[in-house]
């Protein structure tokens, strides 16, 4: 039996995330190569909400930002998929991550990640919604208030 478009796209979205997670941990560039083999030539990613102040990025710029940043920061990274929803050429994933930053701090995030696919089954757009307060604190964009 042939896989439905929604099932195919959901499977590719989960594969993409697993490759990104593996690349962010111990496996590095080969896993990123596998993730980005699933995207279209006009791929774009946007990290939201806008308060995290990340402009939308095309693939080349995203790789230049992502790969060295996570390589320098994390020694291990895992993600648990909590829920997926698919309709037409769209997939939304709810997930949680845990990681071991090299500096010993705690890291864990909740995400809503939406994917848009073209008719060939390639990922054309990703919108990654993160916890903006945690992100700002973790990356030193704001200081934590000490009580």
With respect to residue 115, please indicate whether it lies within any of the assigned structural domains: yes
What CATH number should be reported for the domain holding residue 134? 3.10.450.50
With respect to residue 10, please indicate whether it lies within any of the assigned structural domains: yes
With respect to residue 124, please indicate whether it lies within any of the assigned structural domains: yes
Q: How many domains does the chain have?
A: 1
With respect to residue 132, please indicate whether it lies within any of the assigned structural domains: yes
Tally of helices (H runs) and strands (E runs) in the chain: 4, 6
pTM attached to this predicted model: 0.87
With respect to residue 147, please indicate whether it lies within any of the assigned structural domains: no
Question: Domain range for residue 97?
Answer: 5-138
With respect to residue 67, please indicate whether it lies within any of the assigned structural domains: yes
pLDDT of 100: 84
pLDDT band of 144, cuts 50, 70, 90: low
With respect to residue 146, please indicate whether it lies within any of the assigned structural domains: no
pLDDT tens for residues 18-75?
A: 999 888 877 778 899 999 999 999 999 999 988 778 899 999 999 998 888 887 788 8
Cβ-count burial 85-115 (b if 16+ within 10 Å, e if not):
ebeebebbbebebebbbeeeeebebebebbb
Q: Can you tell me the mean pLDDT for 74-87? A: 92
Quote the mean pLDDT of the chain: 88
Higher pLDDT, 105 or 59: 59
pLDDT of 143: 59
Rg of the chain on CA atoms, in Å: 15
With respect to residue 144, please indicate whether it lies within any of the assigned structural domains: no
pLDDT of 113: 97
């Amino acid at each position: 039996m042939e896989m439905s478009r929604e099932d195919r796209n959901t499977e590719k979205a989960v594969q993409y995330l697993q490759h990104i997670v593996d690349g962010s941990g111990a496996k590095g560039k080969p896993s990123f190569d596998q993730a980005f083999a699933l995207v279209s030539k006009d791929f774009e990613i946007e990290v939201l909400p806008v308060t995290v102040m990340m402009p939308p990025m095309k693939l080349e710029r995203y790789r230049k930002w992502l790969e060295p940043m996570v390589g320098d920061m994390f020694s291990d990274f895992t993600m648990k998929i909590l829920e997926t929803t698919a309709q037409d050429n769209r997939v939304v994933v709810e997930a949680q991550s845990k990681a071991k930053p090299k500096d010993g701090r705690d890291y864990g995030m909740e995400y809503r990640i939406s994917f848009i696919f073209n008719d060939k089954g390639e990922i054309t757009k990703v919108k990654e919604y993160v916890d903006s307060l945690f992100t700002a604190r973790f990356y030193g964009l704001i200081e934590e208030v000490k009580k």
